[in-house]
Amino acid sequence: MAQEDTRKIGILLFPDVEELDAIGPWEVLSYWTRTFPEDGWQVFCFSADGKPVACAKGLTVEAHHAMADLPGLDVLLHPGGRGTRPQLEDDQHLEWVRSQRRSVPLMTSVCTGSLVYAAAGLLAGRPATTHWASLDRLAELDPSIDVRPDERFVDDGDMITSAGISAGIDMALHLVARLVSPERARQVRRGIQYDPQPPV
């Protein structure tokens, strides 16, 4: 499949992004796209300036692209973490998010990434979720949101929000099932041996 025909998923990186919010979905999506290239998808990470990003717990992650040279996306994934707090009042970032909404067919978020979508006005009147500790904040940002506190992720067509941190893995597997098939998602889940059995 020609590179220009490959559909693209972009994972946003920013200072103080929660590591697993980005890396969990990356593991799922990169395993899928590398193992099954015939499906016609690729995934990459990007940051505002294309430079490495220091995450919330000290991990530094490199970006593949800067926003300025970002290829056209079919799916955007906005993670959460402490770094989303300043974004809620960052007019430039919120306008960038709105611009993506105008051109990207499917917007997704992990954890408090949904707070940014709410602040940008993208979740008005829609069902959504976020990290359990930020559910009230989500409702405060836009009282019209149908907050779903008990759902691991909420698929509302062109917008998918997921709950806290590790829920991004489940959301990414759901993405594979939706974009290709449930069987493909099962293959990916088995490939990364994701079969949670918490010890407590």
Q: 5: pLDDT confidence band, cut at 50, 70 and 90? A: confident
The whole-number average pLDDT for the span 47-60 is: 98
Active site residues: 111
Q: What per-residue confidence (pLDDT) applies to 4?
A: 66
Q: Percent of the chain beyond pLDDT 70?
A: 98
Do residues 159 and 107 lie in contact, with contact meaning Cβ atoms separated by under 8 Å?
Answer: yes
Q: Over the chain, what is the mean pLDDT?
A: 97
Mean pLDDT over residues 35-52, rounded? 98
Check whether 36 has a pLDDT greater than 60: yes
Scored b (16 or more CB within 10 A) or e, 33-67 reads beebeebebbbbbbbbebeebebbeeeebebbeeb
Cα torsion 42, 47, 51, 54 to 10°: value is -110
Residues 124-166 pLDDT 10s: 999 999 999 999 999 999 999 999 999 999 999 999 999 999 9
Give the pLDDT confidence score for residue 86 in this predicted structure. Answer: 98
Looking at residue 16, its pLDDT comes to 98
Class of 3-191 in CATH: alpha beta
What is the reported pLDDT for 2? Answer: 53
pLDDT, residue 28, reads 98
Q: Give the C-alpha separation, 76 to 44, whole Å.
A: 10
Q: Summarize pLDDT for 59-114 with one digit per residue, the tens.
A: 999 999 999 999 999 999 999 999 999 999 999 999 999 999 999 999 999 999 99
**CB 125, CB 144: distance < 8 Å:** yes
